[in-house]
Amino acid sequence: MNRPNPASPRDDELIAAYLKGQTEAFGVLFQRYKNGIFFVVRNYFHNRERAEEVFQEVFLKLLERLDHFDGSGSFRGWFFTLCRNHCIDRLRQQARRHETPDSQWRHEDDDSQATPIARAANEAMPADERAYDRELAAHLEEAIQKLPDEQRETFLLKERGGLTFEEIAQMMGVSINTVKSRMRYALESLRRGLRHKPFVKEALR
């Protein structure tokens, strides 16, 4: 039986392997994309429990739709578009059911509800370094959340999801120049918002 190259199999190789019954190939795809997909989901759902639920739904939907990927473009762009569309659908369902807005679920003083950025500090660090890292993460997270929706989404997709400008343009259905403009404005806004915090400003240069 042919198996995907364990070194660095391409996405299309993994998809073909999975569709042929090699279930471990999907595990490789999961490990490759889990962090980026989770960042996208958290952009829409700040409550961790809700985000984890939607995160699992996205990968279940991927399993259902994997044979729909025709290989004509970037799988990463296709997958992130699937993720974004599912998040939007879930928000619409939430609105129709008059559920509590996700922003009201979040508890800023609860570490279990913190975003991946806010939980970035390594618990193995010395206490003073950990406190500094948490303060840095908190300032960055606050500044990112204040960005306009389209700028915030573009920034997170590029910097956290690792997508290219072309893939983000495909995902959002806009031109590459529009994506680049949104990214530029996002970075300018972050620099302005953090200019009085030198230790944060260095990270944005």
pLDDT in tens, 97-127: 766 555 433 333 344 334 433 343 344 444 5
By three-state DSSP, how is residue 121 classified? coil
| Cβ partners under 8 Å of residue 3, min gap 6 | 17, 22
The region of weakest confidence among 8-22, 106-120, 167-181 is 106-120
**What per-residue confidence (pLDDT) applies to 132?**
45
Domains of the chain: 8-116 (1.10.1740.10), 135-205 (1.10.10.10)
The model's confidence at residue 32, banded by pLDDT at 50, 70 and 90, is very high
The model's confidence at residue 7, banded by pLDDT at 50, 70 and 90, is low
CA atoms lying within 13 Å on the CB side of residue 148: 11
Counting every residue written for the chain, the total comes to 205
Q: Is the pLDDT of residue 92 over 50?
A: yes
**What per-residue confidence (pLDDT) applies to 197?**
60
| Cβ partners under 8 Å of residue 106, min gap 6 | 46, 47, 113
| Cβ partners under 8 Å of residue 37, min gap 6 | 55, 58, 59, 79, 80, 83, 161
Q: What is the pTM of this model?
A: 0.67
Residue of 61 and 194 predicted with greater confidence: 61
Share of residues in the chain with pLDDT > 70 (%) = 72
Q: How many CB atoms lie within 10 A of CB 175?
A: 11
By three-state DSSP, how is residue 199 classified? helix
